[in-house]
Structure 1
Amino acid sequence: MSSDFHATDDPFQAFDAWMAEAVAAEVNDPNAMALATVDADGLPDVRVVLLNGLDRRGFAFYTNLGSAKGRELTAQPKAAAVFHWKSLRRQIRIRGPVERVTEAEADAYFATRPRLSRIGAWASRQSTPLGSRRELEDAVAAFETRFEGEEPPRPPHWTGFRIVPISIEFWQDMPFRLHDRATFAAQPDGSWTRTRLYP
């Protein structure tokens, strides 16, 4: 398997190539990434989310602003993420500051979600204590009734964030743990430098 990230000075081009292979090879959620944030005590917090938008501005994902990650990113807008494709024996790490997506971007993505997922965004008080599963089911039923016959709009507490990468690292498993690894670093003029790393 080639480490094609050495053939370009554009990490987004290399990412697109690897993601295309992951989409073809991975059975479930090739766009899943472990997202690390920092909580109010300065401790790292990590969970798996889905990448739902990528362009040269960065890597976008969506969440409830009241969730742990929503609160943490609002208070300390910086994050790191890792994509790990076990079947391909590859991973990509990204890190950088975080910005909110635009209202139009959030509206557009929300409209693509299944109806029940949109209802769930209204019903879930994400990351807060839940008394019982029935409590959540009742909330879902209430919002299904509220939005009967119409498209559920995006809730005001639901939006997206974008990691604006300052570094993107590619890692390819190789025999005898002599892995192939390189990092791209963003430059002030918008270009990237590529550095091969010891495994």
Structure 2
Amino acid sequence: MALHSASMASKLIFAPAGQEAHGQAGQFTKGVLTRSDLDQTSPIRQFHNWFATAQQSSLIPHPETCCLSTASLPSGRVSSRIVYLKELDAEGFVIYSNFGTSKKAMDLATNSWASLTFWWENLERQVRVEGQATRLTREESQKYFDTRVRGSRIGAWSSRQSQVLSPTKGDADRDGDDDGRKQLDKWVEETEKRFDGVENIPVPDFWGGLRIVPESVEFWQGRQNRLHDRFVYEKKNTTENVQEWSLERLSP
């Protein structure tokens, strides 16, 4: 039931609630998180536990979906995009992308800090990761690249990610039926010819894995009245190559 007037001329959107144009947001009631529920020493193991729960629950279609945020220096301007987590190991969280012409590549060239945010709505859970980003080796990237369908490997070679695509000149331009897509299609065609008959396509130098090595990882469980349960692991100084983490509850 709408609780607010829809006639506020100055507001295009005001207090939306799901499918309702206006209303009160729903309550979070599906879970509780206490310190004893968490792995006491490793956010990596704790994330693996939560990820497995999300994956096996059938409630989260793509639990690997996350938001990668980067920031350019000296401006501090932040940019975010949805990506897929592809690997988790003892060192951190790995995604794959273009690191030649993309906005994220330009950001990371000036500032190696990055963050990932996972939102598993039907479990009312969120995970926030902050850390330093490092590129995987070409050999490591090749292993994942080989698992992709051929079309995606061709696409990785073809796209100049984030570069402006210009309409072709000539009849198509005059007819107005090309908004720049034909330039991309042409690059794909050129790549297909380049690798015609080649099954083992090499990973491009500008494409590959990015590992976010966490400095902090927060686990968030929704609770009623926005009094959520939040716990954060913070990296401590290591001794004798042993990684140690502090674990604290945060106020919502």
Q: Name the residue aligned to 1:22.
A: 54
Q: Name the residue aligned to 2:17.
A: none
The reply on whether 1:160 has 2:200 as its aligned counterpart is no
TM-score, L = length of structure 1: 0.94
Q: Identical aligned pairs, as a percentage?
A: 39
Q: Name the residue aligned to 1:70.
A: 105
Deviations 1:49-89 (A, max 9, x none): 11111111111111111211122112211111110111111
Unmatched runs of 5 consecutive residues or more in structure 1: none
Q: Counting strand residues as a fraction of each chain, which structure ranks higher? A: 1
Cα distance 1:74–1:186, how it changes in 2: closer, same or farther (>3 A)? Answer: same
Q: Which amino acid aligns with 2:250?
A: L
Please state whether the residue corresponding to 2:214 is helix, strand or coil: coil
The reply on whether 1:143 has 2:191 as its aligned counterpart is yes
TM-score, L = length of structure 2: 0.75
Q: Name the residue aligned to 1:130.
A: 165
Unmatched runs of 5 consecutive residues or more in structure 2: 1-30, 167-179
Q: Which amino acid aligns with 2:96?
A: Y
The reply on whether 1:196 has 2:249 as its aligned counterpart is yes
Q: Which amino acid aligns with 1:39?
A: S
Structure 1 residue ranges (4+ consecutive) displaced by more than 6 angstroms after TM superposition = none
**Aligned equivalents of 1:163 and 1:175: distance in 2?**
32
Q: Counting helix residues as a fraction of each chain, which structure ranks higher? A: 1
TM-fit CA distance, 1:193: 1.1
Q: Which amino acid aligns with 1:187?
A: K
Cα distance 1:26–1:127, how it changes in 2: closer, same or farther (>3 A)? Answer: farther
1:93-132 paired onto structure 2 within 5 Å: 93-131=128-166, 132=180
Q: Which amino acid aligns with 1:38?
A: A
Please state whether the residue corresponding to 1:188 is helix, strand or coil: coil
More displaced stretch, 127-136 vs 163-172: 127-136
Please state whether the residue corresponding to 2:117 is helix, strand or coil: strand
Count of equivalent residues = 199
Q: Which amino acid aligns with 2:139?
A: A
More displaced stretch, 27-36 vs 89-98: 27-36
The reply on whether 1:89 has 2:124 as its aligned counterpart is yes
1:26-41 paired onto structure 2 within 5 Å: 26-40=59-73, 41=75
Taking only aligned residues, the RMSD between alpha carbons, in angstroms, comes to 1.5
